[in-house]
Amino acid sequence: MRVRVVLVLLAASALLNACAGVSRPNVSMADIRSDAAIARQEHAVVRDSMLTRLVRRAQSRADSTLDILLLSGGGQHGAYGVGYLRGWSSRESDPMPRFDLVSGISTGALQAPFALLGTPAALDTIASLYRAAADRIAPTLDWWFWLRRTGGFVNTERYERSLASVLNERLQAQLQAEFAQGRQLLFSTADMDLGIGRIWDLEAALRRDSAPLERARLLLYTATAIPGIFPPRVIDGHVHNDGGVISNILPLLSLEDFRDLSARLRAAGVRGEVNIRLWVIMNIWTHAPVRVMKPSNRGDLSDRANEMLFWAAQPHALQRLQELARAVSADVPGLSMQVRIAQPQASLASEPGADKLFDRQWMQRLEQIGYEQARSSSPWDSVTSSYLRPVRP
């Protein structure tokens, strides 16, 4: 009997080792600190490439315009953004442009390749993925997480299979054809070691000599890996998680960057004013849900404070984009800039399904809300301060 128990324990140990937790090579604080300089160099390379390709796009377009799309994080609520993209692309007046640059955070990173392509087939593909999310994406509880030590407590195998099924050789070829025209796609992860966001260029990942699709899938999975829930991944020796840890949108360029862009445009012979249109799709509302709080419950008050810290960052980020647009238009010669923002109503946050991880009926409803808003006569929203509740008719 004792031998049988030992054999069972050995078999269980072998099973757990086969599904081992996330591991990394030994690393010291000195190694991490020195990697900060490497990260700065890599960021500079991404920035320079981004500006170079924007100049190329401005030269190739005949309308003196650059279109940049920012897709936010939001988990299952990304169904709203998918619906919005579909509705926008189907408009007869003011249809969705061909974006020169698309950036995505978390669920927005998953949407970004299909938004860049912008074809009905591409948008139908991502819509189908979200509609089947409860069965094809939603992780299941990893009952052995306390032994496996994966850094999360869910099993993401079916999500990773779904990601591999859509990010395939066909999609790779379609994206590379767009990249060849100077169009670009960037998204971010959170480097948990350095405590910073890292920006990744999908073209660079797909241009690698060794296993480009595997690299792209790794980056996109990690960009959506919610800390503490989804297992993180080790990328180039560092632990990475969801880019939404740093910011829920990825604006990419600062005022100084736009000044540099202006100088590069002039040097490249681009004359006249170039209009930069910044389109923002928030895959989640911008304000915390309304709650009735008990003043004597310290735990609930602490949780509510953390919740409010997250939500307050959303309108602040959007207001900074609007301030950036005003500064670019006023202070950068040869450039003007406008921002348009779409977001689901904050009142939706209190409805059944809004607090789930992946709820089929809720996601279908959100997709329809996004679709109808994009096709309406008032598809764009105004930004409301974190000191006021938003009102949308």
- Average pLDDT for consecutive 10-residue bins of the chain (393 residues)? 40 42 81 93 96 97 96 95 98 95 97 97 95 81 74 85 93 97 97 97 94 96 92 94 95 96 97 97 94 95 94 95 97 97 92 87 95 96 91 59
**pTM of the shown model:** 0.92
Q: What single letter denotes the amino acid at residue 83? A: G
**164 to 103, 159, 160, 213, 285: CA distances (angstroms):** 20, 9, 6, 8, 29
Instruction: Compute φ and ψ for 67, nearest 5 degrees.
Output: -110, 125
Q: What single letter denotes the amino acid at residue 193? A: D
Q: What pLDDT does residue 19 have?
A: 47
**The residue to which tokens 């990697």 are assigned:** 35
SS3 of 22, please?
coil
- C-alpha angle 43-47-51 in degrees, rounded to nearest 5: 170
For the record, the structure tokens of 253 come out as 């360029």
Q: What single letter denotes the amino acid at residue 51? A: L
Burial class (CB in 10 A: 0-12, 13-18, 19+), 37: exposed
Q: Are 342 and 381 in contact (CB under 8 A)?
A: yes
β-pair type (196-201, 184-191): antiparallel
Residues present in the chain in total: 393
**The residue to which tokens 């190329």 are assigned:** 56
Helices (H), the chain: 2-18, 29-60, 78-89, 107-117, 120-131, 133-136, 145-148, 157-166, 169-179, 202-206, 212-223, 255-267, 298-331, 360-375
Cα gap 333→328, rounded to integer Å: 8
Cα gap 115→377, rounded to integer Å: 22
**251 to 127, 186, 193, 260: CA distances (angstroms):** 24, 10, 23, 16
Residue 353, Ramachandran bin (φ over 0: left; ψ between -120 and 50: alpha; else beta): left
Buried b (16+ CB within 10 A) or exposed e, 146-158: eebebbbbbbbee
Cα gap 103→110, rounded to integer Å: 10
Instruction: Compute φ and ψ for 377, nearest 5 degrees.
Output: -80, -10
Q: What pLDDT does residue 17 have?
A: 42
Q: Helices (H) and strands (E) in the chain — how many of each?
A: 14, 10
Count CB atoms within 10 A of the CB of residue 330: 9
Q: Are 127 and 86 in contact (CB under 8 A)?
A: yes
Q: Name the residue among 180, 198, 182, 201 with its Cα closest to residue 190.
A: 198
Q: Are 73 and 107 in contact (CB under 8 A)?
A: yes
Return the DSSP state at 65.
Answer: E
Q: Are 60 and 100 in contact (CB under 8 A)?
A: no
- Kindly tell me the sign of the dihedral angle through the C-alpha atoms of 374, 376, 380, 381: negative
